Amino acid sequence: MESFNVVETLQPAERALFWVGALITASLALWLLYKIITGFRIWVLGNGDLLSPKLGKWAVVTGATDGIGKSYAEELARRGFSMMLISRSQEKLDDVAKSLESAYNVETKTIAVDYGQADIYPKIEKGLAGLEIGVLVNNVGISYSYPEFFLHIPDLENFITTMINVNITSVCQMTRLVLPRMEARAKGVILNISSASGMFPVPMLTIYSSTKAFVDFFSRGLQAEYKCKGIIIQSVLPFFVATKMTKIRKPTLDKPTPERYVAAELTTVGLQDQTNGYFPHAVMGWVTTVVAPIKLVLCLGLRMNKAQRGGYLRRRKLR
């Protein structure tokens, strides 16, 4: 009778485990190599000369007088686009238009409208008539004055309507006005400025976060519809940028100036359908949506916004 040999019995299992481990290791190595090459392509090489007046003579920027919108207008004018600037204040529009004309020798037009109102789009349509539009930047947006619980938001009914009109309706309506001409020419770029707040729920900024999530979903859905027609529709999800809306005065590596952010973001157009636009923000986006559990993200967001709310209310009482 042959004796039972444990080593010989386990050898097939050992070989199988070895090949499974080798396959997993090789797969991870290939995945890492792919990510490194893709990251180098996006964040180092960029998209070259994709964004140029070859797409169409005019670029349209909403919310063009401050912050990120103004920086988009400046960068697109630098690239040679004639600029259609849309914002609420005619005085500020005139200042930005004169600055662009002087610095970049480009043609400018302006339309003064309040995106909080729903009856403005016939005026915008008339202003855009006859323009060969290559780029639309749907940038206009509003947020909270300070983080607040839903039912404690001052003038809640009007706040809801205004937030939806500015952050959601404007994106849909501006796209409705511009997209048909892009489709007819089979080229064009639409950049919809969402927010990292739209990547996950943000307690005490709940309405803002939800409207920005809509912008992200809207953009990605349209990109799937129109990519085959030669049109790029990109969802842009920045974290904090040093602007008037964020109330950040001192830029840092993770909180760049609008100029630095826009210069980085425009290099991703045509390479990413959904982008955080700036490499440190891309790392932050990966951590908050892939690595960190959503319950932890919600908990930290709630804690941070409660602290900001308390500080704001204390400062207001001291005035």
Q: Which positions are catalytic?
A: 208
Q: Please give the full DSSP string across 68-80, using - where no structure is assigned.
A: HHHHHHHHHHHTT
**Dihedrals phi, psi of 275, to nearest 5 degrees:** -140, 150
Q: How far is residue 182's CA from residue 193's CA, in Å, rounded to a whole number? A: 19
Is 233:192 a contact under the CB 8 Å cutoff?
Answer: yes
Q: Please give the full DSSP string across 44-62, using - where no structure is assigned.
A: IITTTT-SSGGG-SEEEEE
Is 186:142 a contact under the CB 8 Å cutoff?
Answer: no
Residue type, 35: K
Q: Residue 108, Cα to own-chain centre: how many angstroms?
A: 25
Show the beta-strand stretches assigned E in 26-107.
Answer: 58-62, 82-87
Q: How far is residue 272's CA from residue 30's CA, in Å, rounded to a whole number? A: 20
Is 57:280 a contact under the CB 8 Å cutoff?
Answer: no
Q: Which candidate, 84, 87, 89, places its Cα nearest to that of 63?
A: 87
Q: 192: which strand partners?
A: 138, 235
Q: How far is residue 144's CA from residue 201's CA, in Å, rounded to a whole number? A: 15
**Helix 206-226, helix 156-164: angle, nearest 10:** 20
Helix (H, G, I), strand (E, B) or coil at 253: coil
**Tokens read off for 277:** 């636009």
